[in-house]
Amino acid sequence: MTPVYISDLDGTLLGNNAKLSSFSKKVLDELLQQGLQFTVASARSVVSMQTMLKGLNLRLPVIEFNGAFISDFDSGRHEIINSISPNIVESIYKLILEFGCVPFVSSFNGTEDCVYYKNVINDGMRWYLNDRLTNKDRRWRTIEDLTHSFSDRVVCLTVIGHAQQLLELESAIIEIHRGSVETHLIENQYSPGWYWLTIHDYKATKDQAIQTLVENYGLKKSDIVVFGDQINDIKMFKIADCAIAVANADPELKRYATLVIGSNTEDSVVKYICQDWSNRYAVQLKSDIT
């Protein structure tokens, strides 16, 4: 069966500097030219992916915002949008304010992607804003009243703060909206000590997005091989034919792994893909000859 390789980005395909190494980029480019089926599934936006993976010919759509969008890599056009119900957005926004937090609101306004913000109340939020502005991210917009952004199709509310505060907020959100939303709480590895709580629609998960790719892009007879490092990758590990964790992965994720390879700083994902692709291709050639 033809393999389809799907990798997480941060902590998995990317190094600790949040960049794709020149080695990995060169090898991926060569394999893609040979017909490799490869894409990425990340909490990042396609705008961010386009910067990091510039030059790669990704023919399959990318999975962004943990499955909130399935998008064409080159154009950024969204082929699937899983937005949060407007009444749920309003309810969660009120909860966020009650906990003394302020969210970033990521949305699609019918024409383009937007990230709205008003007050930046801590260094964790400031890091995120500065990082995106430094990278000339065109989505960012200041707004006097964040509720005005709710007329867009909101795909993610991002709250940045300290762990305990966000744990309590997450529990409150789940208690009220269990089954309607998907939440992830993770430390920002590039800004230690600051945690991100992201809230998506319940359909916005990597496993559901992968199943959509399989059904819509002629991949039903393919082996799905996935790579990850964090607990938000567990669901896609469960549905994959082969689930591969990097050495630096969360111990909880490793419990669901078919295999553990080297760390994200060693180009381990691309080295594995190269070897596996070569092995499968050699076997296919032999099969064709006989």
- Position 283 scores a pLDDT of 53
Query: Which are the contacts of 94, defined by CB distance < 8 A and separation ≥ 6?
Result: none
Give pLDDT, residue 287: 46
DSSP symbols for 35-89: T-EEEEB-SS-HHHHHHHTTT----SPEEEGGGTEEE-TTT--EEEE-PPPHHHH
Structure confidence by residue, pLDDT tens digits, 194-234 = 999 999 999 999 999 999 999 998 888 889 999 999 999 99
pLDDT of residue 41: 97
- Distance between CA atoms of residues 153 and 114, nearest Å: 10
Domain parsing of the chain, residue ranges: 3-81+205-289, 86-201
Residue identified by tokens 């759509």 is 61
Residues in the chain where the model's pLDDT stays below 70: 282-290
pLDDT at position 290 is: 41
Q: Please give the pLDDT value at position 208.
A: 96
Q: pLDDT value at position 284?
A: 54
Written out in words, the top-level CATH class of the domain with range 3-81+205-289 is alpha beta
Q: How many C-beta atoms surround the C-beta of residue 2 within 10 A?
A: 12
State how beta strands 78-81 and 103-108 pair.
Answer: unpaired
The structural architecture, per CATH, of the domain 86-201 is: 2-Layer Sandwich (3.30)
Helix (H) or strand (E) segment spanning residue 197 = strand 195-201
Contacts of 13 (CB under 8 A, 6+ apart): 7, 20, 24, 40, 227, 264, 269, 270
Of 104, 192, 193, whose CA–CA distance to 143 is shortest? 104
CB 165, CB 99: distance < 8 Å: yes
What Å distances lie between residue 287 and 280, 281, 282, CA to CA? 10, 10, 9
Name the maximum alpha-carbon separation found in the chain: 69
Structure tokens that stand for 93 in this block: 């926004």
Q: Which residue has the tokens 């970033």?
A: 104
Q: Parallel, antiparallel, or unpaired: how do β-strands 242-245 and 259-260 relate? A: parallel
pTM of full prediction above 0.75: yes
Do the bridges between strand 242-245 and strand 113-117 make them parallel or antiparallel, or are there none, so unpaired? Answer: unpaired
